Structure 1
């Protein structure tokens, strides 16, 4: 009988001991680990790209893809050390590697995929422009466009386009590039101009004919129609050239 009670109490004590040990392990695990959620990893990747890419943060549209489970990590100072893989352009698809470290100790490596689009200011045509035509204010507008590739060779202000001549036919809605443009001469070969010469308060004018195309502030050959002599003068505007002494 006594032996029977001893066995019963021993079983009860054994169950209580196992329960206490399990509780202690669970408590220790709760106290000594931390959870890093997938959302935190995505936010860290986005912050890394914002700080490491050359684009204005306001012009970037970043999408992060990371669908793995949350991480259970030891307590300590956490570092997610991100590295870009093979994308010097900083736009489009950008694979990332994140080294997870706690208190400087490497824990694991994560793979994160990012896609970066940027908004760029461009000049677009609002009507068809024929080759050789001079582009006017009514032909183009500024527009902010979203792109996943770097737009190169593009003017970003209207003043770099208006007054230029089209080097080819431009369709309505086309993004204008510098190679689509050429400067229009201020004076053209054969144009009649006024030749201006000044020295002190004395100003002399004479009629002339331009012998070559010229742009504002450039030097061109001009024939003085009164003396029939060839001179060199600076282009002031479409009607005037000036001889500098």
Structure 2
């Protein structure tokens, strides 16, 4: 083989080798680029997940908050269930401690809402619905009682009951019940709803009552005749026996009223 032919062969081989190497390097670069893009996507996805509040953790915080709130109100026992939240909910992760407020002033439980708020850089507020069963030691009826009966100490006992069933309020202690009159019947073991209680009737129409009028430091007492029945705290009309004048008066005790000017 001549020298010129050898040189041409070597040049051809060199060009072929360089082109093959170039194609391989491009493939490697392409693969590295794809892997890098995949890794970048995964990192961005992880960062996005990290910047969103975890809904289940949020529900757990609400449950813990509710339990502490009711236990601090002298509840004997507390059972809490936080409702499921929409899994599509996307709340920016708060850079401050979350603010939780219970929307239950009476602290008697039932279906309640907890206001959860982020007051950080990205502020947001949501209401989390929950069910709270709150058990308290309260006065209950020791027997079945009928409308119109006046409650005595023997009619009462105490039990730990779920007060979330009494959303309209109830009397806790026997002291708040003795002497009250029932506006509706109550069964044995039930708590006494405030709406079912009335002050006792202490003045009846036609009764002679003691009337007291006070102006500044001067107080005058006289007798009158009740024109209507009256309970403690109620306003009734009374006829002054001396002047025959009819005035409005507030019932303050059995047989006693106070003039209203």
* 1:169/1:37 CA distance change after superposition, 3 Å: closer
Gaps spanning 5+ residues in structure 1: where?
185-245
Which of 21, 30, 39 is the matching residue for 1:23? 39
* 1:124/1:89 CA distance change after superposition, 3 Å: closer
| 1:63 paired residue number | 81
Deviation of the 1:111 alpha carbon: 4.3
Alignment of 1:122-137 (within 5 A): 122-129=138-145, 135=152, 137=154
* 1:180/1:155 CA distance change after superposition, 3 Å: farther
- The CA RMSD over aligned residues, in Å, is 4.4
Which of 159, 170, 186 is the matching residue for 1:143? 159
Contact 1:33–1:75 (CA under 8 A) maintained in structure 2: no
Deviation of the 1:5 alpha carbon: 3.8
* 1:55/1:132 CA distance change after superposition, 3 Å: closer
Gaps spanning 5+ residues in structure 2: where?
1-15, 203-261
- For residues 25 and 70 of structure 1, the distance between their equivalents in structure 2, rounded to whole angstroms, comes to 21
What is the SS of the residue equivalent to 2:157? Answer: strand
Which of 99, 111, 129 is the matching residue for 1:81? 99
Alignment of 1:83-122 (within 5 A): 83=101, 88-90=105-107, 91-100=109-118, 104-106=120-122, 109-122=125-138
- For residues 127 and 149 of structure 2, the distance between their equivalents in structure 1, rounded to whole angstroms, comes to 52
- For residues 17 and 48 of structure 1, the distance between their equivalents in structure 2, rounded to whole angstroms, comes to 49
| 1:11 paired residue number | 27
User: What is the TM-score normalised by the length of structure 1?
Assistant: 0.50
Higher alpha-carbon Rg = 2
- For residues 32 and 171 of structure 1, the distance between their equivalents in structure 2, rounded to whole angstroms, comes to 58
- For residues 51 and 134 of structure 1, the distance between their equivalents in structure 2, rounded to whole angstroms, comes to 35
* 1:170/1:57 CA distance change after superposition, 3 Å: closer
* 1:108/1:9 CA distance change after superposition, 3 Å: farther
- For residues 129 and 105 of structure 2, the distance between their equivalents in structure 1, rounded to whole angstroms, comes to 15
> Higher helix share goes to which structure?
2
What is the SS of the residue equivalent to 1:79? Answer: coil
Contact 2:75–2:135 (CA under 8 A) maintained in structure 1: no
* 1:152/1:97 CA distance change after superposition, 3 Å: closer
Matched length: 178
Contact 1:155–1:177 (CA under 8 A) maintained in structure 2: no
Contact 1:135–1:166 (CA under 8 A) maintained in structure 2: no
Contact 2:94–2:122 (CA under 8 A) maintained in structure 1: no
User: What is the TM-score normalised by the length of structure 2?
Assistant: 0.48
